[in-house]
């Protein structure tokens, strides 16, 4: 267990335990740092000074998030199950609201972990069919014959024999500036997946079982594809357990809609 002995938690004095407020400032400051990193080197005389200042601010904000999360009502439940990084955990908890989630799938959708209907695409040269969340114009990379060269055909939408659902892809903001999920929640959930796999007995076991299942049922998948799918399944299992426990703590119904 890490509780209050994690190294990050030992660095700073107690702060205002308003996790949502601190995490929001942290998220915005990280966004500002990304903007600075996109500026051309040498293009702004004060760039190095600004970058250093933002880095110092982020260090302090990490301390603040870690301090605030130990006051969260679900922190004891979490650390009983996984040796979770307090900053990552704080970032995730600050984005979730169990009172507005009537089922675990609400957490999944908010974190970008819901499945979406796939579009069937057929290669106009070799006939290969793939499923993707959106139509795209990539060329087919399947080896063509014994030459080992890529097919090079183009994919086009084709009628599907049945409805297939696939994992939601990372996306940029659309024309309206909105995304179908919360990017900060998705990032935090994905990062927390490392702790679930490496620092939790129950979720690590679930990860290994899922990998074994996929190896048998999805032999054509690349190894990294199976790793990502198993990690995704474990994160969803954790979010479902969190939803159940959090709603129970608040006296809210837990019958899954």
Q: What is the pTM of this model?
A: 0.77
Where a domain ends, among 167, 190, 205?
A: 167
Asked whether residue 242 is assigned to any structural domain, the reply reads no
**Residue 76 belongs to some domain of the structure:** no
Give every strand in the sheet of 129-132, ordered side by side.
129-132, 119-123, 155-157
Is 34 among the domain residues? Answer: yes
How many Cβ atoms from other residues are within 10 Å of residue 48's Cβ?
12
Domain C-terminal end among 132, 167, 202? 167
* Residue-averaged pLDDT of the chain: 83
On the question of pLDDT at 138 being above 50, the answer is yes
Question: Tens of pLDDT along 104-132?
Answer: 999 999 999 987 777 788 888 787 877 77
Q: Percent helix, strand and coil across the chain, each rounded to 5?
A: 50, 10, 40
Does residue 139 lie in a domain region? Answer: yes
Judged by phi (left if over 0) then psi (alpha if -120 to 50, else beta), residue 152 lies in: left
* 162 within domain boundaries: yes
Residue 182 lies in a domain: no
pLDDT for position 194: 96
The confidence band for 198, taking pLDDT boundaries of 50, 70 and 90, is: very high
Please report which residue ranges of 70-176 form alpha helices under DSSP H.
Answer: 75-79, 86-93, 104-110
Which of 167, 192, 207 delimits the end of a domain? Answer: 167
CB count, 10 Å around CB of 118?
A: 17
**What residue numbers bound the domain in which 156 lies?**
115-167
Per-residue pLDDT at 136: 61
**Residue 93 belongs to a domain:** no
């Amino acid at each position: 267990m890490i509780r209050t002995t994690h190294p990050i938690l030992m660095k700073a004095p107690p702060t205002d335990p308003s996790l949502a407020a601190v995490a929001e400032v942290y998220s915005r400051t990280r966004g500002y740092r990304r903007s600075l990193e996109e500026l051309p080197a040498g293009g702004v005389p004060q760039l190095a000074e600004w970058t250093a200042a933002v880095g110092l601010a982020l260090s302090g904000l990490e301390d603040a998030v870690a301090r605030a999360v130990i006051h969260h009502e679900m922190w004891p439940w979490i650390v009983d199950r996984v040796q979770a990084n307090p900053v990552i955990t704080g970032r995730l908890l600050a984005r979730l609201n169990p009172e507005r989630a009537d089922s675990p799938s609400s957490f999944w959708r908010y974190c970008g972990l819901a499945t979406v209907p796939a579009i069937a695409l057929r290669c106009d040269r070799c006939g290969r069919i793939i499923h993707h969340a959106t139509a795209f114009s990539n060329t087919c990379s399947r080896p063509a014959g014994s030459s080992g060269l890529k097919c090079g055909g183009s994919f086009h939408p084709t009628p599907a024999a049945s409805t297939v659902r696939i994992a939601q892809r990372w996306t940029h903001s659309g024309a309206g500036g909105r995304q179908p999920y919360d990017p900060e929640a998705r990032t935090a959930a994905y990062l927390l997946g490392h702790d679930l796999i490496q620092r939790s007995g129950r979720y690590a076991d679930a990860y290994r079982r899922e990998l074994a299942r996929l190896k048998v049922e999805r032999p054509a998948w690349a190894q990294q594809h199976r790793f990502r799918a198993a990690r995704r399944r474990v994160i969803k299992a954790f979010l479902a357990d969190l939803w159940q426990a959090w709603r129970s703590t608040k006296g809210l119904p837990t019958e899954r809609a």
